[in-house]
């Protein structure tokens, strides 16, 4: 039989290892939301796994409360459709299951040290800035032809969406940033801009100036480049 002290040591080692790897997984999630669903899904479920490993070893009670809330939220959201005998599809259930990832993000923010969170934030802001530059290039037409993306067709990304002509303008396209989807770009961009702006208000000096400038640029990109102003309201 394995001594109890060895089991405890292994348990603590697993919890510590999960916490060390959590910033990378969380960073992939934050950046992946702005790049594509497959990347975001990998980061999100890795974050969930690492949070579960660390949480169940070190904070069982609080972790159960957090995930219990997530399960109850999803169950409550499904109650009305089920009562109306409108059963969700498999795709719909997968979408609802995404809400279970919210407690994982909350736990990651709570458990990670400030330095790790700052690195994740910087990475997310860098990707957002690149996405805005890409959207600007798409908007002014300084963009490769659609045939240049043909080798990447297996990714099933809607590259053609950013070649839709802007109303009343020639040589300009409806930009979609790295997501190649103007509505998703506007939605994600709006959330990131608000988070960056809030972060800037709680900072000082050059950090505040940089955060506010990035937030203003994000809102401008949504309003002027993406032609998806209504999506920002959503």
Report the candidate in 70, 55, 53 with the shortest Cα–Cα distance to residue 110: 55
- Quote the CA–CA distance of 127 and 168 in Å, as a whole number: 30
Of residues 118 and 84, which shows the higher confidence score?
118
Categorize the per-residue pLDDT at 2 as very low, low, confident or very high, splitting at 50, 70 and 90.
very low
Phi, psi of 165 (to 5 degrees): -65, 140
User: What SS3 class is residue 173?
Assistant: strand
Neighbouring C-beta atoms of residue 215, cutoff 10 Å: 22
Q: pLDDT digits over 205-230, tens only?
A: 888 899 899 999 888 887 776 565 54
Task: Supply the pLDDT for residue 34.
Answer: 93
158 and 179 in contact (C-beta within 8 Å)?
no
Q: pLDDT digits over 11-64, tens only?
A: 567 677 888 899 999 999 999 999 988 899 899 989 988 988 887 666 554 555
Of residues 179 and 165, which shows the higher confidence score?
179
How far is CA 142 from each of CA 136, 155, 170, rounded to the nearest angstrom? 8, 23, 13
Taken as a whole, the chain contains a residue count of 234
Task: Supply the pLDDT for residue 219.
Answer: 85
Average model confidence (pLDDT) across the chain = 80
Burial 57-87 (b: 16+ CB within 10 A, else e): bbbeeebeebbeebeeebeeebeeeeeeeee
Categorize the per-residue pLDDT at 4 as very low, low, confident or very high, splitting at 50, 70 and 90.
very low
Contacts of 25 (CB under 8 A, 6+ apart): 43, 46, 47, 49, 50
Predicted confidence (pLDDT) at residue 161 exceeds the cutoff of 50: yes
- Quote the CA–CA distance of 78 and 225 in Å, as a whole number: 37
Report the candidate in 160, 216, 176 with the shortest Cα–Cα distance to residue 192: 216
Task: Supply the pLDDT for residue 46.
Answer: 93
The DSSP code for 99 is: G
Categorize the per-residue pLDDT at 70 as very low, low, confident or very high, splitting at 50, 70 and 90.
low
* Helix residue spans in the chain (DSSP H): 4-32, 37-58, 60-83, 90-97, 101-111, 114-140, 182-201, 205-220, 229-233
Range picked from 24-28, 157-161, 200-204 for highest mean pLDDT: 24-28
Residue with tokens 């002290």: 5
Which of 54-68, 116-130, 181-195 is predicted least confidently?
54-68
């Amino acid at each position: 039989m394995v001594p109890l002290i060895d089991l405890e040591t292994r348990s603590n080692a697993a919890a510590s290892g999960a916490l060390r790897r959590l910033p990378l997984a969380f960073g992939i999630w934050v950046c992946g939301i702005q790049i594509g669903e497959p990347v975001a899904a990998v980061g999100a479920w890795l974050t969930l796994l690492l949070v579960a490993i660390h949480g169940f070893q070190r904070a069982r009670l609080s972790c159960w409360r957090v995930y219990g809330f997530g399960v109850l939220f999803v169950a409550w959201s499904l109650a009305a459709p089920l009562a109306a005998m409108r059963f969700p599809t498999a795709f719909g259930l997968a979408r609802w299951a995404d809400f279970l990832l919210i407690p994982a993000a909350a736990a990651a923010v709570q458990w990670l040290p400030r330095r790790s969170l700052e690195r994740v934030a910087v990475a997310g802001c860098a990707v957002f800035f690149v996405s805005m530059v890409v959207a600007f290039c798409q908007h002014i037409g300084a963009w490769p032809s659609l045939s240049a993306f043909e080798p990447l067709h297996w990714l099933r990304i809607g590259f053609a969406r950013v070649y839709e002509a802007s109303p009343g303008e020639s040589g300009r396209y409806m930009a979609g940033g790295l997501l190649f989807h103007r509505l998703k770009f506007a939605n994600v961009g709006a959330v990131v801009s608000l988070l960056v702006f809030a972060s800037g208000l709680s900072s000082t000096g050059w950090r505040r100036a940089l955060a506010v400038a990035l937030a203003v640029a994000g809102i401008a990109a949504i309003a002027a480049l993406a032609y998806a102003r209504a999506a920002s309201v959503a």
